[in-house]
Amino acid sequence: MEKDEVTDDPTISDSEGLWRRIHPIWAVPDKTLGKVRVSSAAFDDSADGSPLSVLIERLVKESGRTVDDVMDSYDGYFLASINSGDARQLGLGIEHTPTTEEPAHGSVHGKKTKSVKLKLAKRAQWVVAPSHR
């Protein structure tokens, strides 16, 4: 599959939350909003070229896990959520790509221009905010 090819799974509804673990360097002050927000850098593909990794919230919850469970090995990280419908409106696709370690793993496919990443960052909502950890 090409790096920017859009693969989309129609079984993932537009209302589903996609959780992204946020490294502390991706929590940035926003003077306009007067609070800390997620940096657009958090929505880039992996350095190895693989698509943006997320956790599909519904699948995490269906497996009986909690936010604390998915954050357990990520001390100091935060957690943000984007809406799958918002990602699709920006020309991206979502695919369930489970791994041995993470059955709720998903991938966000498509070209993530600076503009697309900024829109995702502005639409992201904190699940575990910097002020709470």
- What is the per-residue pLDDT for 14? 96
- What is the per-residue pLDDT for 17? 97
**Nearest-angstrom CA–CA distance, 54 and 81:** 9
- What is the per-residue pLDDT for 120? 97
Q: Which two tokens stand for residue 110?
A: 């498509």
- What is the per-residue pLDDT for 6? 77
Q: Which two tokens stand for residue 13?
A: 């509804």
What pTM was estimated for this model as a whole?
Answer: 0.91
DSSP 8-class letter at 51: P
The per-residue pLDDT string of the chain (133 residues; one tens digit each, 9 = 90 and over) reads 555 567 899 999 999 999 999 999 999 988 887 789 999 999 999 989 899 999 999 999 999 999 999 999 999 999 999 999 999 999 999 999 999 999 999 999 999 999 999 999 999 999 999 864 4
- What is the per-residue pLDDT for 133? 42
- What is the per-residue pLDDT for 132? 47
CA distances from 121 to 31, 36, 90, 112 (A): 15, 11, 12, 12
DSSP 8-class letter at 76: T
- Runs of H (alpha helix) within the chain: 57-62, 67-71, 84-89, 114-123
- What is the per-residue pLDDT for 38? 95
Q: Which two tokens stand for residue 94?
A: 């979502």
Work out the angle at residue 127's Cα, subtended by the Cα atoms of residues 125 and 131, and round it to the nearest 5 degrees: 95
- What is the per-residue pLDDT for 94? 97
